[in-house]
Every structure is written in structure tokens, then in C-alpha cells.
Amino acid sequence: MPDLSQTAGEVDVTLLDQTVGENLAATASRFPERPALIDLTAGTRLTYAAFDAEVTRIARALVARGLAVGDRVGVWSPNRAEWTLVQYATARAGIILVTINPAYRSHELVYALNQSGCRWVFAPEQYRTSAYREMLEESQSELPRVEQVVYFGTDDWNELLAAGDRADDAALEVRMAGLSPDDRINIQYTSGTTGFPKGATLTHRNILNNGYFVGELCGYTELDVVCIPVPLYHCFGMVMGNLGSTTHGSAMVIPAPTFDPEATLRAVESERCTSLYGVPTMFIAELSHADFDSFDLSTLRTGIMAGAPCPVEVMKQVVARMNMREVTICYGMTETSPVSTQTRADDSLERRVSTVGRVHPHVEVRVITPGTNTVVERGAPGELCTRGYSVMSGYWAEEERTREVIDAEGWMHTGDLAVMDADGYLNIVGRIKDLVIRGGENIYPREIEEFLITHPDILDAQVVGVPDERYGEELCAWVRRQPGAALSEDEVRSFCRKRLAHFKVPRYVRFTDEFPMTVTGKVQKYLMRERSIAELGLQVAASIENA
């Protein structure tokens, strides 16, 4: 009988049975003098002893100010040291951190804060064109449950620290003694197929262990310095970056608040980073930077590319030109904490650049015929499913939507199409779910479609992803105008720009009289995609080979 596409990860290293707060304390007592957190924009540098003390101080303040176990607190901010401090302080105090994309605008923010029932929010007052304070104040009447906003870099933050100094340790110690690794500790909003995002809810066990095993497979020790230009609101930053580091005593470097290729390269050089993370788009931007050759990247050893299909050619360049000889590819999704498969440092170069690796420790993966529970033979494509400690506890307050993706046997159905080879290595070959990934940001076309038809001149709209050499995919909107309407492409784009996060604004807008339909009246998106590629001349981008 031919082998079936199902594998289970190694179990020789046991799972951590701790809370995030306990694990950090253990690391801090092992490596008190090693660097923990470096924020180059603010000039903040904390050793593990100092980081742990600061986390405790904030946790004491949160308890003293009346936040209970299981309460929700939102963080809506670009990357900065305080983000990471809040992550660990909320975990230490048993408070569920709701991480919100800093590119979100009021419409998206209000939904996330209300759906999760946040009592507090942490945010900066302003970053570039994002007026966080203004958006929060304007939305106040729609946010009846938010009692307190703490603005970073203002007296709010200083007062919180002072409250931490005034409070004693006793209440926090009682609190910590009552926490369990199976408590829910984090809600991350991921774009939803029905237009509203879903709150993937993760426990200490989920994210602590995923970060730990990512760090193990990168070979991290207290001597590693990890450059984290990926967003902290996403698992890539807060789990693979932060928890991957703090479980091993490695240093976390924040090169800039949002991705900046030059700041990233400079950070690698100045901090002598040994590891660098990024979605493919970020590595493409770094490699094509005009002064690339002037940066000393010789300290790099490893790193991670993940979050979107990874072009083989870009991986080869990362190894050859960035000195990341042990670079790994991870595949995963927020609902699985996130990583399910990873390449290993000792895999052949060929496999490390052209596959998403093998199953992670303590996790099972299998490839099934979509819509069934039948596992396909090795080499045949099907839907990738993941089972194990890493599968989320569910979507926050959405049991039905949880049941749609996690089956009765505990398998998370990813909606990604994969092929498993004879040795258990996987390739991601497509997607069943109607998702577009632009530069690592997930977009559900449905959300944009529902938004477009609110325009008085638009009769109907369909949105597809088209290939792009820089961003992996870009949005292409097919729009049917109201009879007689003279709407232009630019007007469609500027309508979106006003109300949606920038990455959701369609790059291409095409006017049409009809959409390709099946006889049963279903829009054939694959045909729209093919026609768009041909008419927009995107054949080169469409032929890129991915891991």
C-alpha cells in the first residue's frame, strides 16, 4: 500500500508545562545579565533582569488597578518596547491580550474591541499618518466597554509604572499562583471570510511551546540576537520572535516601529544580529536596497521566512548574499499558534529553499481530500490539516465558526493546499480558502466586495488576488457600475483609501459588464484571475516558483 500523507513530529524534547510569566522568570534567573530587549528607535536596552523586573512592575499595576484574570486588554500599536512589555505583563497577570493590527482604521478597530469586550486599550497617540488617539476618541461612543486607554509615551504610561511601584508583590503572587498553562492568554484577529475578522484565541501552552520549538529548530541560545522587523500584533512577531527568544535567553531587537528595509539592515549590522525574520516581501526589499552591499551582515547565521509563499530564488539569495546559511522556512497560521512545519538547519540546501519543511515537534499534519476525512497518498495534493497542542482553543465567542474549521477529532482545516513527499516534506501548492496575501497581510476579498458596493455608483464588485513580484499578490477589483455612472478607477481607489487599511486598497480596478459565472450562478474567480493576469500582463509574476 502506498504511504499516506500523514506525519507526526518528534516527541523527544518534552512540551513546556509553564505559563508565559513563569517561563520568563526562569530565563531571567538563568541569564540575568544578557540583553533581552533592544528598541533602536527609542534607544531602550533592557537586560533579562531589568526586563523581568519591568514586566513584574506593570503586572502589579494591572492587578492593583482592578483587572481580573481573563479580562481582555487590547494593544493597537506599531512595534515598540512597550508592546513587548505589555505582552509579558498581561500574561504574568493572567489577562488576555487582544492584539490589533496597527493599520486598522476605526471601522475595524471598533469591531475587534467590542467583539472581544476589551476593558483597556494600549496605544500610541500618533504614528505617522495614523492618529490613534483621534480615532479612539472619535469612536468613544461606540466603545461602551472600554474604561481606560493608556497612551504610550505619555503620563498615562508613567502613572501606570508608578502604580506598579506603589503596589506590593503579594497580590500579584496570589494571582500568579492561580494561573494555569491552559488558560487563554491571547486573542488575535484574523480576517474573516464573511467580512468580519475572527478572534483566534490562544493559551499559554499554545504560544509558549510554539515559540520554544521555533527557537529550538533555529538553534537559539543566550548568545543569539534576533532581529524582529515583522509586526508584533501577529504571531510572527510575538510568538516566533518574542517567545522564540525569551524561552532561550536570546535578545529581541526591534529595528523600527514598522518595516523599513534600511533600518532593518542597519540593526543587523549595529546589533550584530545572528537571526533575521521576514515575510518574503521584506527580504525582497532588503536585497534590492540601493546600499545593500555596504551593510555588514556577516554575523547572521539563521532566520525565518514565512507568512506567504516563499519564492525559491529569494531563499537562495538570502543564503548566498545575507549569509543566512541556516535560514529556515516556517509554514503555519494564527489558529495554530502559528507554526506547523519548519525546515531544519541540517536539511539539504535544496529542501531548505524549496519546501516548507517537515512537521513540528509534538504536532501532527496530514493532507486530505477537501470536504472529506480521506488522507491522500504521498505526492497527491489536498487540504493540509494540523492537530496537537498548537491548535487554538477556538474563535472568541464564535462556537459555530470554530466548528467549521476544527473537526471532531481535533484537526484544524487550514484551507491551504499542500503536497507531502515520501520523506514528509511539504510544499504549499495553492489555497482553497478565498484569501489573498499581500506582502504578508491577509485580505479576504469578501470584505472589500462588501465595502465597494456601499458606493452609490457601484452595482456589484468582485475581488481577486493577482500575482505580483514584490508583494506576492495584489488586489484586483472587477467593478460593475450603475447604468450611466461615470466612476473612474482612481475614484474607486480613493473611496477605499478613506475608510480601509492601506493594504486593502485594490491596486487594479477594472470595469466590466458581467462576471464569469457557472451555470449555477457562482462567480468563477479562477477565470477572473486568469483573465486579469493576461490582460494586465502579469505572466512573469505568475510563473514564480515557491516553496
- Residue with smaller CB distance to ligand AMP, 136 or 356: 356
d(CA 93, CA 68): 8
Instruction: Give me the least distance between CB of 249 and ligand AMP, in Å please.
Output: 26
- Residue with smaller CB distance to ligand AMP, 36 or 329: 329
Backbone angles phi, psi at 138, to 5 degrees: -65, -30
- Residue with smaller CB distance to ligand AMP, 250 or 334: 334
Cα atoms in the Cβ-side hemisphere of radius 13 Å centred on 305: 34
Residues 6+ apart with CB under 8 A from 367: 5, 6, 375, 376, 380, 381, 382, 383, 384, 385, 418, 419, 420, 426
C-alpha cell at 436: 489573498
Instruction: Give me the least distance between CB of 265 and ligand AMP, in Å please.
Output: 23
Residues in the chain, total: 547
Instruction: Give me the least distance between CB of 431 and ligand AMP, in Å please.
Output: 6
- Residue with smaller CB distance to ligand AMP, 113 or 392: 392
Instruction: Give me the least distance between CB of 546 and ligand AMP, in Å please.
Output: 7
d(CA 24, CA 329): 26
- Residue with smaller CB distance to ligand AMP, 272 or 433: 433
The answer to whether 233 and 80 are in contact (CB under 8 A) is: no
- Residue with smaller CB distance to ligand AMP, 250 or 336: 336
Instruction: Give me the least distance between CB of 307 and ligand AMP, in Å please.
Output: 5
- Residue with smaller CB distance to ligand AMP, 271 or 416: 416
- Residue with smaller CB distance to ligand AMP, 18 or 317: 317
Instruction: Give me the least distance between CB of 353 and ligand AMP, in Å please.
Output: 12
Using the CB atoms, write b or e for 179-206: b if 16+ within 10 Å: bebebbbbbbbbbbbeebbbbbbbbbbb
Instruction: Give me the least distance between CB of 234 and ligand AMP, in Å please.
Output: 6
3-state secondary structure of 73: strand
The answer to whether 79 and 263 are in contact (CB under 8 A) is: no
| Dihedral Cα 102, 108, 110, 113, nearest 10 deg | -60
| Residue numbers at the binding site for ligand AMP (CB under 6 A) | 190, 306-310, 329, 331-334, 338, 356, 414, 416, 428, 431, 437, 442
Residue type, 161: L
- Residue with smaller CB distance to ligand AMP, 356 or 505: 356
Instruction: Give me the least distance between CB of 385 and ligand AMP, in Å please.
Output: 12
Give the residues across from 275 on adjacent strands. 226, 302
d(CA 456, CA 377): 51
Instruction: Give me the least distance between CB of 471 and ligand AMP, in Å please.
Output: 14
Ranges of beta strands (E only) in 394-457 are 394-395, 412-420, 426-431, 436-438, 441-443
- Residue with smaller CB distance to ligand AMP, 371 or 521: 371
Instruction: Give me the least distance between CB of 450 and ligand AMP, in Å please.
Output: 20
The answer to whether 156 and 125 are in contact (CB under 8 A) is: no
Residue type, 293: D
Question: 3-state SS string over 97-115?
Answer: EEEECCCCCHHHHHHHHHH
- Residue with smaller CB distance to ligand AMP, 208 or 333: 333
Instruction: Give me the least distance between CB of 428 and ligand AMP, in Å please.
Output: 4
Residue type, 453: I
